[in-house]
Amino acid sequence: MTYKLILLRHGHSEWNAKNLFTGWVDVDLNDQGREEAARGGELLVENNLLPDVLYTSLLKRAINTANISLDKADRGWIPVKRDWRLNERHYGALQGKDKAQTLAEYGEEQFMEWRRSYDTPPPPLSDDSEFSQAHDPRYADLGDALPRTECLKDVLVRLLPYWESDIKEDLKAGKTVLVTAHGNSLRALVKHLDGISDDAIASLNIPTGIPLVYDLDEDFQPVKPGGTYLDPDAAAEAILAVANQGKK
């Protein structure tokens, strides 16, 4: 008996298309992203992977990806749990900035440190920035826990308790769980599942809109390390595109 976990990074967003750091800014999917989400749902059906419960972040690019995918799979009716702990990594003062311009301005080393190091957060975002979430009602309950910037380690620290208390419990109950989230919140979860080192996680990238399936054994160890992308060719191409973002 294995537990079935499906991870799905939202489809291409308006800001993925513009090559802007997004983080907690609540941008929607673009047409490409909606198509990816629909294809994601078809892949679930083709592989007979029908989710029993959905987990999403509080951000509409993940919520709408889930809605479109589940509609394709005729599973729009399943219970939904939304939580800020699945949100994208807060990108601090980089939110709203152009990735190519940031790379040109700060150089590749600093750029990659901010994007992919495990424990170096970008500078914090000021509460009076147009890209701040300090006054967003959906985070009113967070109080001092509301991040102004995060590194991947911070994401893992806020995500793991939720994985343990909620997501794992649904898996233990035998449910097929779909998690729709983000490039970095999913990198944090995959780091935990696969036991990837702080250094090695830098080179792991997650493509948009392609379901990644983990069969987990009774100790929640992946039966196949790295899981299985339902469209491996498309995933390989898209992973490269994410890795090269910002570069000419």
Stretch that binds ligand DG2, among 8-16, 48-56, 120-128, 224-232 (CB under 6 A): 8-16
> 4, 115, 148, 191: which one contacts ligand DG2 (CB under 6 A)?
115
Report the residue number, 3 or 205, with the smaller CB distance to ligand DG2.
Answer: 205
Tell me whether residue 47 is annotated as binding. Answer: no
Catalytic residue, chosen from 10, 36, 150, 182, is: 10
89-to-25, 52, 60, 155, 231 alpha-carbon distances in Å: 11, 26, 15, 6, 26
22 binds ligand DG2 (CB under 6 A): yes
Q: Please give the backbone phi and psi of residue 182, each rounded to the nearest 5 degrees, phi first.
A: -135, 165
Q: What angle do CA 203, 207, 212 make, to 5 degrees?
A: 100
Beta strand residue intervals within 110-187, DSSP E: 177-181
Tell me whether residue 10 is annotated as binding. Answer: yes
Q: Check: CB of residue 210 under 8 Å from CB of residue 6.
A: no
> 72, 148, 175, 182: which one contacts ligand DG2 (CB under 6 A)?
182
191 binds ligand DG2 (CB under 6 A): no
Structure tokens at 215: 């069969």
Burial of 153 (0-12, 13-18, 19+ CB in 10 A): middle
Alpha-carbon gap, residue 191 to 83, rounded angstroms: 20
Tell me whether residue 175 is annotated as binding. Answer: no
Tell me whether residue 135 is annotated as binding. Answer: no
> Is 113 annotated as catalytic?
no
91 binds ligand DG2 (CB under 6 A): yes
Alpha-carbon gap, residue 192 to 117, rounded angstroms: 16
Total residues contacting ligand DG2 (rule CB under 6 A)? 14
For the bound state, the minimum distance from the C-beta of residue 77 to ligand DG2, rounded and expressed in Å, comes to 26
User: Per DSSP, what are the bridge partners of residue 81?
Assistant: 55
Supply the DSSP symbol for 149. -
Site for ligand DG2 in 208-237 (CB under 6 A): none
Report the residue number, 90 or 175, with the smaller CB distance to ligand DG2.
Answer: 90
> Is 35 annotated as catalytic?
no
- Other beta carbons less than 10 A from residue 194's beta carbon: 17
Q: Binding mask 142-181 vs ligand DG2 (x if CB under 6 A, - otherwise)?
A: ----------------------------------------
Q: Which residues are catalytic?
A: 10, 88
Q: Which residues are annotated as a binding site?
A: 9-16, 22-23, 61, 88-91, 99, 115-116, 183-184
Applying CB under 6 A, which residues contact ligand DG2? 9, 13, 16, 21-23, 88, 91, 115, 182-184, 242, 245
